Structures are given as C-alpha cells and as structure tokens.
Amino acid sequence: MFVISSSHAYILNNFFPGFYLLAKVLEATDEVIYGWTHHIVSGHTLKHLAAAMVPVFLTFMLAKRDVEPERYLRVCNIKTAHN
C-alpha cells in the first residue's frame, strides 16, 4: 500500500495525464509539426520527449518525498510495540 501526500497526488493526477495527452497530440500532428519546424524535428520525436518526462518527474517526486512511518502504520492499521 502506498501513502501519497496531497502534493504528490496532485502531480500524479494532473501532470502525468497531461504529458500523456501532449504525447498523443504530438503524435497526431506529426506532419504539421514537421512542416512548422522546417523539417528539423517531427511530432513523433517530440512525442517521445513528452512521454519521457513522466518517469523523470516520477523520479524527482519519489526522491523528494518524506517517509512518514507513523502515518503509514496508521493507514495500514499496523500495531506498533508501544501501542
């Protein structure tokens, strides 16, 4: 069971689907983007960059989080030695 703080839940619920949606839009507009950039970069390339942002932000989020063992034990209904 994962205990997710509200700021992490906000990122999971808003940014990750946003990057997925951006990747799908970039994929659908591949040829248009290729023309806009004067044949330098395609939407397919940008799609991969947008999709790669999800594990990057997930890594930052997990590295930044605080471990709250008391909260975890309370959520899981685990009895501690001093209870």
Cβ neighbours, 10 Å, residue 13: 11
**Structural domain includes residue 1:** no
Residue pLDDT, tens place only, 9-35: 666 667 778 888 999 999 999 999 999
Distance separating alpha carbons of residues 30 and 45, to the nearest angstrom:
9
**Structural domain includes residue 81:** no
For residue 35, what are the domain limits?
Answer: 6-76
Report how many domains make up the chain: 1
Distance separating alpha carbons of residues 81 and 68, to the nearest angstrom:
17
**Structural domain includes residue 83:** no
Residue pLDDT, tens place only, 30-76: 999 999 999 999 999 999 999 998 888 878 777 776 666 666 666 67
